[in-house]
Structure 1
């Protein structure tokens, strides 16, 4: 039986990254941290065994959780997103610098793998300088870094146009060498697999004359002429998705109808339900959305989350890389840290405490 690797999750949201890792059967989240109490409610309902703390990551101390094999973070992307203000590290709300709070904990715990997810624009923000700082900070902490921009509809067989950058740091050279990102796969799932075009839903999801300020309904009624695709109201105009997939979900979908994907169905013009938005992220049908939470909260949770299917495919490759490197590792008898043995020498020194090890 292969080892189950332990994980600690930060900026955990509803647990999309955790779900992708756990779906492989090779990883288990034992600790999670999230600042917003709304997604914490959803996380707790779906991860009964994980200890999730609802507090600012700045208040998390290394002793708050045990050593783990993997530390992962979908750190806040608003400061880098094309859809946001793109202020990066200078974001007035401090969201751009929260990566360094995560790095503080990584340096203290020295996990075998670091996993990060963020918006595609991170790689080009500020002329590439923001990403360079992040990559070099991980390298300075002792990690070999590899990254790739991946689209959910190309790598997750999920009909959503969602490009994200995935960054991995490996503490061991052999793990790094053994890891390969998954290849693209055909998109066989259709929007009809995740959106119910046939049956009526609750009245609150429909657009009707006079429901919203201005002539939004009239504009939608005039321009939404294709019942087999997804549209989006973008502040002042209607956008049709030409790829016949769901457009990129955003965190502000629940704010006055802006950015919510829309469909024309026999019963009228309506927005996607929160459940359908989670479907568009590749979440399984049995993923629970807590009763009593406002739709605006659920839309935000879905938009802030990740494509679960892409995460799962990456996690499978991580598990394979770790399996391949079993023979070249040992636990230091002095400090109990796991280290990599030199393949050409039976004597090495622990990089953490300097203890001389001879096999």
Structure 2
């Protein structure tokens, strides 16, 4: 059976690609449409997917009367009709996390962006009025969502989903623990089923230990090699390299450091050549004050503010120096097969597509491999629900 999927807050398609890749028995998924408001993310998405991308503000699309401009209001009415035209089996959403992030203001539903969750409920209700409510939901957010406001924020979210007839399950998964992607990335995944029997057969979150991958140092290096473009050299990728000419404060010798007036020199001397010495490790210059090696042996969490400039993209030691990760490498760390079926746009509206935009998109994305893993388990649950069985052991990895 082929389940029709729609995606809100689709970004560059991490969840969508995961669902597209997921299969079990004769079951699979088919993307019908996606929605995204950021025009640059839309461009990256449309470069890689053929189904409908209904871009724009989802709140105004679902409630066109909120738009005062008559022409824009008519456009929103047309886009809403596109959203509601198809019966949808699965609704996915990596809904905006800024309002719940530890790094953010922690305002939850007091933050306008937090209220975008309510657009998910709005769409579920409108789909139910036109056809039927989606039979399954896949939602993703930052880990802190579960504990925000002493658990009250998530309790409201869960209650609202339950009011729509869903059985809700949730778990926090770290990308590095459940996939071969070498990135430390903890996110909460919320899975919901309208069919209680299917929910009962979704066993993954009850047996997470069984899904963890083994990663010794040899496998860790293999995984890192798979996402790094080690063929690059300074002659072709010089803009990503850190050199003394470009960053003199990051290559200070002991003598140069001591010659700086004590009142203005930094507490710690930075010399990248001396401190970034190991290949297949990830480093960061923290707040411009010191160099830190990520002790997990994998890339630290990719963030949206990688695209805001500064020195917040992880650094790696390569054969001819030290450089930061390229945009393609950050996408690969999220599971996007760049160069093997997934393409990063080079231009937009006649201008070069900036690295900053791409870094931001990678930081905002959902890890493809985690989405695929959970999407597959959802298919298993649907299949298992067809036949009563006392022994569910086949649904859990050995």
SS at match of 2:199: helix
Structure 2 CA distance for aligned equivalents of residues 220 and 145 of structure 1: 50
> Which structure carries more helix by proportion?
2
SS at match of 1:254: helix
2:249 paired with 1:215:
yes
State yes or no: 1:115 paired with 2:167: no
* Among candidates 44, 47, 52, match of residue 46 of structure 2: 44
What is the distance in 2 between the residues matched to 1:31 and 1:196? 32
* Residue 301 of structure 2 is aligned to residue 248 of structure 1: yes
**From 368, 371, 376, the counterpart of 1:308:** 368
Structure 2: segments with no counterpart, 5+ residues: 63-79, 128-132, 253-269, 348-352, 389-398
Q: In structure 2, how many angstroms separate the alpha carbons of the residues matched to 1:176 and 1:132?
A: 19
Give, in angstroms, the shift of residue 138 of structure 1: 0.7
Cα distance in 2 for residues equivalent to 1:134 and 1:142: 13
For the residues of structure 2 that align with 1:112 and 1:40, how far apart are their CA atoms? 27
User: 1:36-75, aligned counterparts within 5 Å?
Assistant: 36-48=38-50, 50-61=51-62, 63-65=81-83, 66-75=86-95
- Does the residue aligned with 2:4 lie in a helix, a strand or coil? strand
299-308 or 265-274, which moves further after superposition? Answer: 265-274
Q: Which structure 1 residue ranges, 5 or more long, are not aligned?
A: 329-359
Is contact 1:14–1:301 with CA below 8 Å preserved after alignment? yes
Shift of 1:100: 0.5
The structural deviation recorded for 1:273 is: 0.4
Partner SS for 1:165: strand
Q: What is the correspondence of 1:1-359 to structure 2 with a 5 Å cutoff?
A: 3-25=1-23, 26-48=28-50, 50-61=51-62, 63-65=81-83, 66-91=86-111, 94-109=112-127, 110-181=133-204, 183-187=211-215, 188=219, 189-197=222-230, 199-200=232-233, 201-209=236-244, 211=246, 215-216=249-250, 218=252, 219=270, 221=272, 222-236=274-288, 237-284=290-337, 285-292=340-347, 293-326=353-386
Q: TM-score, normalised by structure 2?
A: 0.77
Contact 2:180 2:223 in 1 (8 A): no
Cα pair 1:241 1:247 within 8 Å, conserved:
yes
Between the two proteins, the alignment pairs up a number of residues equal to 322
Q: Secondary structure at the match of 2:98?
A: coil
Kindly state the Cα deviation for residue 258 of structure 1 after the two structures are TM-superposed: 3.3
Whether the 8 Å CA contact 1:150–1:163 is kept in 2: the answer is yes
RMSD: 1.9
What secondary structure does 1:145 align onto?
A: strand
